[in-house]
């Protein structure tokens, strides 16, 4: 369990308080899956005495302050900053020193119900279709292998279910002769072409899943002819692909990507007001949305990913299996692949970088602090799922 004290200037409202106050009602009205129950339990207990921690005692003035452990759950809004910093440090060595494009692949609304019912196979299919779209265009248009990192998001700013993947893609690729092919300076590939390829590949994935029986359990396909009718309507729907202009600089790319890789459905900082009857939060362009607490928690849980599901994936030159080709690309681009940021910083150093706070120094007098372990209290078993 990572020791992760809360930083100064914390948000006024906390999703954990909403969970503690309204979880029981949510369970009565909607029920919870095992995974959803685990997420809510983690958020409830994060940075509380239930998870243990340590007591900071100043050796000079005797000032004492408890600091409790974080839950480290990937859905928790309080646990992502340090995880993001560690991820960025780990990826720095692999990132190629070239411009990158940001491309977003979005599924049509007709597939959202299927994704909600069968998230694992559908999200896997989306990753496969989107990555194959980019890599195929890299091979056919640049005759080269791209470097691609993708992250799955499932939400809109008002917490509605909206599955899409963000892709950070090298503005060029490595040819078979180890030379570097540079893409068009203004765009990667035409978005209309990417949209058509995504549609064809995703539909092929759906046919494969149906043939393998992996779409069983989706009520709308109980009619033997329903799947055919469903698939016949998909080509007429818009398959949206959005691409931003390229941006350069390895550090800029990593910071930009890090914001997407470790973003959760909503952060505490977006909560505007919380009462016993309503939760108001910021959406976009200065607007807000207001929901009952149970509605808010219900929407939040729409974005709980299946256990063990990898929401960040790497393809092409950035794939784990492409170390040799990636090293060739680094050599071609005149960068020593071994050069990196140096030793991996500790969580103390990460926290100091993020907040300016030195946990080894007393906040009252600046003296050295001794960290005395505190045992976890009030631990409980994972919640039993209730019938919906």
The predicted-structure confidence for 152-167, as pLDDT tens digits, reads as follows 999 999 999 999 999 9
pLDDT, mean of residues 42-60 = 87
Mean pLDDT of 67-78: 89
Tell whether 327 and 217 lie within a shared domain.
Answer: yes
Decide if pLDDT at 277 tops 70. yes
- Asked whether residue 142 is assigned to any structural domain, the reply reads yes
Q: Give domain status of residue 31, yes or no.
A: yes
Q: Are residues 258 and 138 in the same domain?
A: yes
Residue 104 has a pLDDT of 95
Do 59 and 137 lie in one domain? The reply is no
Q: Kindly state whether residues 247 and 291 are assigned to the same domain.
A: no
Strands annotated E in the chain: 53-58, 64-68, 100-106, 147-155, 161-170, 172-174, 180-182, 241-243, 271-274, 279-282, 288-291, 312-316, 369-374
The Cα 218–Cα 111 span in angstroms is: 12
83-108 per-position pLDDT tens digit? 777 777 778 888 998 989 999 999 99
Establish if 337 belongs to a structural domain.
no
Q: Are residues 153 and 97 in the same domain?
A: yes
Residues 262, 84: contact at Cβ < 8 Å? yes
Structural domain that includes position 247: 93-265+306-332
Do 106 and 40 share a structural domain?
no
Q: What percent of the chain has pLDDT over 70?
A: 87
Position 125 in a domain: yes
Q: How many domains does the chain have?
A: 2
Looking at the fold, whether 112 and 192 belong to one and the same domain comes out as: yes
340: in domain: no
* pTM reported for the whole predicted model: 0.84
CA dist., res. 388 & res. 385, Å (int): 9
pLDDT tens for 192-204 read 999 999 999 999 9
- What is the mean pLDDT of the segment spanning 336-342? 39
Q: Cα angle at 68 between 65 and 72, to 5 degrees?
A: 150
Q: What's the chain's average pLDDT?
A: 85
**Is 245 part of any domain?**
yes
CB 205 within 8 A of CB 120: no
Closest C-alpha among 179, 178, 167 to residue 128? 167
Burial of 384: CB neighbours in 10 Å, binned 0-12, 13-18, 19+? exposed
Residues 6+ apart with CB under 8 A from 351: 4, 5, 7, 82, 357, 359
Instruction: Specify whether 324 is located in the same domain as 250.
Output: yes
Please check whether residue 342 lies inside any domain of the structure.
Answer: no
Residue 338 lies in a domain: no
Query: How crowded is the C-beta side of 193, counted as CA atoms within 13 Å?
Result: 11
Q: Could you tell me if 17 and 154 lie in one domain? A: no
Q: Is the same domain home to 72 and 173?
A: no
- For residues 315 and 210, membership in a common domain is answered with yes
User: What pLDDT, on the 0 to 100 scale, is given for residue 340?
Assistant: 38
Residue 139, pLDDT above cutoff 80? yes
DSSP 3-state of 293:
helix
Q: Please return the burial class of 148, using the count of CB atoms within 10 Å of its CB with bins 0-12, 13-18 and 19+.
A: buried
CA 150 to chain CA centroid, Å, is 10
Considering the domain architecture, whether residues 197 and 98 belong to the same structural domain is answered as: yes
């Amino acid at each position: 369990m990572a020791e992760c004290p809360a930083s100064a200037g914390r948000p006024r409202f906390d999703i954990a308080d909403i969970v503690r106050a309204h979880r029981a009602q949510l369970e009565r009205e909607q029920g919870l899956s095992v995974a959803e129950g685990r997420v809510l339990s983690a958020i409830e207990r994060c940075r509380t005495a239930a998870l243990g921690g340590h007591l900071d005692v100043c050796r000079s003035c005797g000032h004492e302050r408890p600091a409790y452990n974080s839950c480290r759950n990937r859905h928790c809004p309080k646990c992502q900053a340090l995880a993001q910093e560690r991820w960025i440090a780990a990826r720095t060595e692999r990132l190629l020193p070239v411009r990158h494009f940001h491309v977003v692949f979005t599924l049509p609304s007709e597939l959202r119900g299927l994704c909600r019912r069968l998230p694992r196979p559908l999200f896997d299919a989306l990753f496969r279709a989107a990555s194959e779209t980019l890599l195929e265009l890299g091979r056919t248009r640049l005759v080269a292998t791209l470097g691609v990192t993708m992250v799955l998001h499932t939400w809109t700013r008002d917490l509605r279910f909206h599955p899409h993947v963000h892709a950070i893609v090298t503005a060029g690729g490595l040819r078979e002769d180890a030379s570097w092919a540079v893409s068009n300076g203004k765009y990667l590939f035409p978005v209309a072409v990417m949209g058509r390829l995504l549609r064809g590949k995703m539909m092929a994935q759906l046919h494969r899943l149906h043939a393998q029986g992996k779409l069983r359990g989706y009520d709308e396909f109980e009619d033997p002819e329903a799947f055919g009718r469903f698939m016949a309507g998909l080509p007429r729907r818009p398959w949206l692909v959005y691409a931003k202009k390229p941006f350069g600089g390895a550090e800029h790319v990593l910071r930009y990507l890090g914001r997407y890789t470790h973003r959760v459905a909503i952060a505490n900082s977006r909560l505007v007001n919380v009462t016993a009857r309503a939760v108001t939060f910021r959406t976009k362009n200065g607007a807000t949305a207001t929901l009952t607490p149970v509605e808010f928690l219900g929407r939040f849980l729409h974005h709980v990913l299946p256990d063990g599901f990898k929401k960040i994936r790497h393809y092409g030159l950035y794939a784990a299996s492409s170390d040799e080709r990636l090293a060739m690309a680094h050599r071609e681009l005149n960068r020593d692949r071994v050069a990196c940021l140096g030793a991996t910083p500790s969580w103390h150093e990460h926290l100091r970088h993020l907040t300016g706070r030195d946990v080894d120094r007393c906040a009252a007098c600046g003296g050295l602090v001794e960290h005395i372990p505190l045992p976890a209290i009030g631990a409980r078993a994972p919640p039993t799922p209730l019938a919906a």
